[in-house]
């Protein structure tokens, strides 16, 4: 079983970084619904993180409905859930604000930020398309 891409960034919570990397893997199609997710032990060893942190990550992803614990099978990737009513509002209040603050901090202008967001959006769309073509060939 392959782990998702993850590189440690100093100054940020390891838990938050791993949760984000897992979400990116689900959204990009790197992990597909029904696919087994690494065990806590495998996740901890593969990402070189503490087992308690790995356990906390898995529990959080289950709580967010991104993973499902199936008795006798293990933890598998869930279908992406429909956004909860507060999800969009929280995104606008937190992640977008962080993006704007960081962009202003490094001196970017709005068109540059919009271009960067558009390129990332297209990159994720391409990843999904590539993954679905790859799966259809199997």
Which residues have C-beta within 8 Å of that of residue 2, sequence separation ≥ 6?
A: none
pTM value is 0.68
DSSP secondary structure code for residue 75 in this structure:
E
Which CATH topology does 1-81 take? Arc Repressor Mutant, subunit A (1.10.10)
Q: How far apart are CA 65 and CA 79, in angstroms?
A: 8
If one compares 94 and 10, the residue with the highest pLDDT of the two is 10
What phi and psi values does residue 13 have, to the nearest 5 degrees? -60, 130
- Cα Dmax for the chain: 52
Ordered by start, the domain boundaries in the chain are 1-81, 82-138
How do residues 72-123 score in pLDDT, each as one tens digit?
999 999 998 777 777 767 767 777 888 999 999 999 999 999 999 999 889 8
């Amino acid at each position: 079983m392959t782990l998702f891409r993850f590189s440690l960034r100093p100054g940020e919570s390891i838990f938050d970084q791993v949760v984000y990397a897992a979400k990116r893997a689900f959204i990009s199609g790197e992990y597909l619904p029904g696919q087994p997710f690494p065990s806590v032990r495998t996740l901890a060893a593969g990402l070189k993180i503490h087992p308690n942190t790995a356990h906390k990550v898995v529990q959080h992803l289950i709580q967010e409905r991104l993973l499902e614990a199936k008795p006798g099978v293990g933890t598998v990737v869930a279908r992406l859930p429909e956004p909860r009513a507060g999800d969009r509002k929280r995104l606008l209040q937190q992640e977008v604000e962080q993006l704007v603050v960081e962009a202003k901090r490094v001196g970017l202008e709005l068109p540059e930020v919009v271009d960067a967001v558009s390129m990332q959006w297209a990159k994720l769309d391409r990843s999904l398309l590539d993954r679905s073509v790859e799966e259809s060939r199997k």
